[in-house]
Amino acid sequence: MPAFARAVLAQWRNDDRDTELNTRFRLESVAERDRDALKALAALRLLRQPRDPVSSPFEYAQYELFLRARLAGAEQPSARARVVRATYARIERPAGDVAAYRMAGSFVFDLGGGERTLQRALAPARDGQVLSLADAVALCRAFHTWSVYDALLPVMGLALRDAESARYVVDSAVRVPLRDGNALSAVIVRPRKPGGRQPAVLELTIYAGEQNHMVALEAAAHGFVGIVATTRGKRASRGPIEPFAPDAADAYDLIAWIARQAWSSGAVGMIGGSYSGFTQWAAAKRMPRALKTIVPAAAIVPGVDSPREHGIVQNFQYPWTRYVGNAPLNDEAAYGDRARWAALDSSWFARGTAYRDLDLMDGAPNPIFRRWLEHPAYDAYWQAMVPQGAEYAAITIPVLSITGYFDGAQLGALHYMRAHQAALPNANHTLLIGPWDHFGSQRRPVPVLGSHVIDAAARVDIIGLIYDWMAHVLRGAPRPALLADRVNFEVMGANRWEHVASLDAMATDTLRYALAGGAAPSLVVAPSGPADNAVVAVVETDFRDRAHESGTFIEVSADTTLDVTCAARFDGPVLARPMTLSGAFTGTVAVSVNGRDVDVAVELHERGADGRYRQLSYALGRSSLMRDPTRRQLLTSDAVERLPLPPSRIVSRVIPAGSRLVVLVRVQKSSASQLNYGSGRDPSDETIADATRPLRVTLHAGSVIAVPVRP
């Protein structure tokens, strides 16, 4: 490899200075020209310093450490361990706490995964192929990464512990008593300096693993007491594992306990995403006095978007119950067995058995999943878990909600915001939303998501922003500049942020389209007069046919075809000029169904001038819950009914001239979600025997879609 890397270096050039240096220091390292590698790395850090003055001087510390250890001649493991320990201390000691935390995080690496990446990069050369320069560089980079971690990981333990203990007081085995006799386990990390009473940053999570220690350490690196507590039954917490239900009461007890500790200033801020976003709202339900702010990212709402989306249970929730419910730690082996879950979905769909019997087919009782299925509407069981009505009105603390256009939990995050502002119109609630998925909304967005290249403006350090918010609320620091108003959103394609006072203000106008029939169903400007019941389109779905399926889910792609299985399609006019869609579309569908219920989606797509389709948004829900999500109201068979659409997903995107909007009205028939055969029985109990005839959904005049736009 050294000779190969030297040959690559003889040809490698790149006009982008950052790319040139980032690749050159790695190639020089593989070539065993260590001093040249260190020079290139130093130049890269200097180039990046204006962008990130805190961390750039210490970026890629793992590679610097490897080079300096090799220059010291530390080849044997025992000698390498001594040199690495001393050298890491010299590199790490001058760094600030945040830079040192990131430095330590760079040693979290899947060595097996790195080796697999290397083997894939080697495969063409083994097959005798002539490598392109790009492939040769990729091979060198894969070898460099794997070889550095292979050398360092076995000897890093003492070096990392030395650095951590010099900066922090760590207690990994705290038990927090609860009023009912149970207890929550917690990791608490306190900065050694400045000492004294400090505000705490807390995450309450159902996920138990090494990441808990790292999250607490990260909060301490930002100058707070970092606390990560695990819910009942997880890690060393006492009590049965029960997602959602006990967390409001437990969070109250936990926060009260924190406020009583000698190291606590009496102020607590909460962080975390997904499930840990929910636990923040669960804590706010009872508003403990010490809770001063919450920052829920990608927060789910039990009963609204998890485990069901507006009434429709999503299959991925079933293995999740195994992941968190099998043992005190996360059951990675079960959750990662994709073949098992794909086979279960496929078998259930093909056989047409009752959804309630998924666990019987899986061969393991699942009381958590079955308990959820006993509550198909947003009833008192679910409502007890998060604030309702007057409880929202009592949440007067600052709230920062974060979500993404491609975040599966966006519906939950916005449900909380809308409910909070409905109960308290002047609620101190700020939203940050951009072109991110579920995980990108919680930490750092990826630069490319599916087929979508994220605008440079949207590549936000979300973790850094969260701690700037904590410093603002808990220590009086300035409000982060990006959060200039109540709603802060990135306009995809325009590479800019907009800041407005409300969700409604994301748009300045509304385009109202009617679904029109005829030889080519289309979107037309909605008439202002009363609508008749003329038939616009008919969608027939044969649930006995298991060779075909159709479903609505988040898509981040640009395809030349659009799946219209079990769907009616309506094309809008070609846009003569660019249009910015901004906000959530709304609408009403006038339907008659030859059954008592149907799961239906309205999808909004862009068809570009290039012929590619891009999903913009969709609204998905169970028709019997569209008027009132708290109780099921069955349809009258074959009667025309006008149903309000459930909330759709917010998006802000420039639609170029030459494009057109396309609307699909789709019946949900997918192996990845619960089926609704339309009999009127509980869909968890229906089987293929209930599919006595194709389910026919007739769309009538009066079906209107309102699209929010801005200049």
- pLDDT mean over 188-194: 93
- pLDDT mean over 623-636: 97
pLDDT digits over 300-322, tens only? 999 999 999 999 999 999 999 99
H-run or E-run covering 257:
helix 247-260
Residue type, 77: P
pLDDT for position 209? 86
Residues 346 and 415 in one domain: no
pLDDT digits over 492-535, tens only? 999 999 999 999 999 999 999 999 998 888 999 888 767 788 99
**Quick one: CA dihedral 401, 407, 411, 412, positive or negative?**
negative
> Peptide bond before 194: cis, by omega within 30 degrees of 0?
yes
From 131, 155, 179, give the residue that closes a domain.
155
**Quick one: CA dihedral 655, 401, 587, 694, positive or negative?**
positive
Q: What is the spatial distance between Cα 522 and Cα 569, in angstroms, rounded to a whole number?
A: 8
pLDDT for position 519? 81
Q: What is the spatial distance between Cα 678 and Cα 595, in angstroms, rounded to a whole number?
A: 5
Q: Compute the chain's Rg from CA coordinates.
A: 28
The string over 416-425, giving b where at least 16 C-beta atoms fall within 10 Å of a residue's C-beta and e elsewhere, is bbebbbebbe
Helices (H), 31-132: 34-48, 61-71, 77-92, 97-105, 111-126
Residues 387 and 344 in one domain: no
pLDDT digits over 684-707, tens only? 999 999 999 999 999 999 999 999
- pTM given for the model: 0.94
pLDDT for position 688? 97
- pLDDT mean over 443-451: 90
- Asked whether 230 and 212 are in contact (CB, 8 A), the reply is yes
Q: Find, among 78, 150, 158, the residue nearest to 109 by Cα.
A: 150
Residues 363 and 240 in one domain: no
Residues 278 and 395 in one domain: yes
From 104, 135, 155, give the residue that closes a domain.
155
pLDDT for position 504? 96
pLDDT for position 578? 97
pLDDT for position 589? 96
- pLDDT mean over 534-551: 95
pLDDT for position 79? 81
Residues 347 and 459 in one domain: no
Based on the structure, what is the number of domains in the chain? 4
Q: What is the spatial distance between Cα 499 and Cα 502, in angstroms, rounded to a whole number?
A: 9
Q: Is the pLDDT of residue 286 over 90?
A: yes
- Asked whether 409 and 274 are in contact (CB, 8 A), the reply is yes
Structure tokens, 238: 């006492």
Q: Is the pLDDT of residue 74 over 90?
A: no
Residues in the chain: 711
Q: What is the CATH number for 267?
A: 3.40.50.1820
Residues 567 and 671 in one domain: yes
Q: In the chain, count of helices (H) and strands (E)? A: 21, 27
pLDDT digits over 257-273, tens only? 999 999 999 999 999 99
Residues 167 and 119 in one domain: no
DSSP 8-state secondary structure symbol assigned to residue 253: H
Query: What are residue 226's DSSP bridge partners?
Result: 189, 201
What spatial distance separates the first Cα and last Cα of the chain, rounded to whole Å? 56
- pLDDT mean over 76-87: 86
Q: What is the spatial distance between Cα 492 and Cα 459, in angstroms, rounded to a whole number?
A: 12
E-assigned strands of 445-585? 448-449, 452-453, 487-491, 496-500, 509-516, 522-525, 535-541, 567-571, 579-583
Residues 210 and 267 in one domain: yes
Place of tokens 């076995």: 154
CA 307 to chain centre: 15
Least confident of 31-40, 71-80, 377-386, 662-671: 71-80
Distances (CA, A) of 614 to 209, 559, 583, 611, 655: 37, 7, 16, 10, 10
- Asked whether 651 and 581 are in contact (CB, 8 A), the reply is yes
Structure tokens, 497: 């942020």
Q: What is the spatial distance between Cα 242 and Cα 233, in angstroms, rounded to a whole number?
A: 8
Q: Find, among 266, 263, 52, 265, the residue nearest to 168 by Cα.
A: 263
pLDDT digits over 554-594, tens only? 999 999 999 999 999 999 999 999 999 999 999 999 999 99
Mean pLDDT, the chain, rounded, equals: 95
**Quick one: CA dihedral 432, 436, 442, 446, positive or negative?**
negative
Residues 170 and 106 in one domain: no
Neighbouring C-alpha atoms within 13 Å toward the C-beta of 15 = 0
Q: What is the spatial distance between Cα 483 and Cα 481, in angstroms, rounded to a whole number?
A: 5
Please give the residue range of the domain that contains residue 195: 163-304+382-500
Residues 212 and 234 in one domain: yes
Structure tokens, 358: 């998924």
**Quick one: CA dihedral 492, 497, 503, 509, positive or negative?**
negative
pLDDT for position 196? 87
Residues 27 and 171 in one domain: no
Determine how β-strand 487-491 pairs with β-strand 429-437.
parallel
Query: What are residue 527's DSSP bridge partners?
Result: none
pLDDT for position 225? 98
Residues 430 and 545 in one domain: no
H-run or E-run covering 159:
helix 157-167
From 333, 359, 375, give the residue that closes a domain.
375
Q: What is the CATH number for 690?
A: 2.60.120.260
